[in-house]
């Protein structure tokens, strides 16, 4: 039913094969878009470090490093306080 398909990576421009097995997996998961990056570029992108922003923990007042820009209208918690709050729910 599926056949190997050659695609072009949108990051590096290299050709890569979208195998029949991968296509079947995508279909089973309900993915509708073909991959746009080769395996190396996908791996590099996943491994890239996110920029962390510093904020003041709303519970303990300590430093919190978060992967988003903190806003004044929402509390930000350090990892320890976040886990404590999450465990109490």
Model confidence pLDDT, tens digit, residues 51-81: 889 999 999 999 999 888 998 899 999 999 9
For residue 57, the tally of other CB atoms under 10 A from its CB is 18
What is the reported pTM? 0.55
Q: What is the 3-state secondary structure (H, E, C) of the chain?
A: CCCCEEEECCCCCCEEEECHHHHHHHHHHCCCCCCCCCHHHHHHHHHCCCCCEEEECCCCCCEEEECCCCCCCCCCCCHHHHHHHHHHC
Question: Mean pLDDT of all residues in the chain?
Answer: 93
Output Rg (C-alpha) for the chain, integer angstroms: 20
Model confidence pLDDT, tens digit, residues 4-39: 999 999 999 999 999 999 999 999 999 999 999 999
């Amino acid at each position: 039913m599926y056949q190997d398909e050659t695609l072009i990576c949108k990051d590096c421009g290299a050709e890569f094969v979208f195998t029949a097995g991968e296509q079947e997996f995508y279909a089973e998961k309900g993915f509708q878009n073909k991959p746009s990056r080769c395996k190396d570029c996908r791996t590099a992108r996943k491994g890239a470090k996110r920029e962390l922003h510093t904020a003041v923990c709303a519970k303990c007042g300590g430093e919190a490093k978060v992967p988003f820009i903190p806003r004044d209208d929402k509390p930000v918690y350090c990892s320890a306080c976040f886990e404590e709050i999450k465990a109490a729910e």
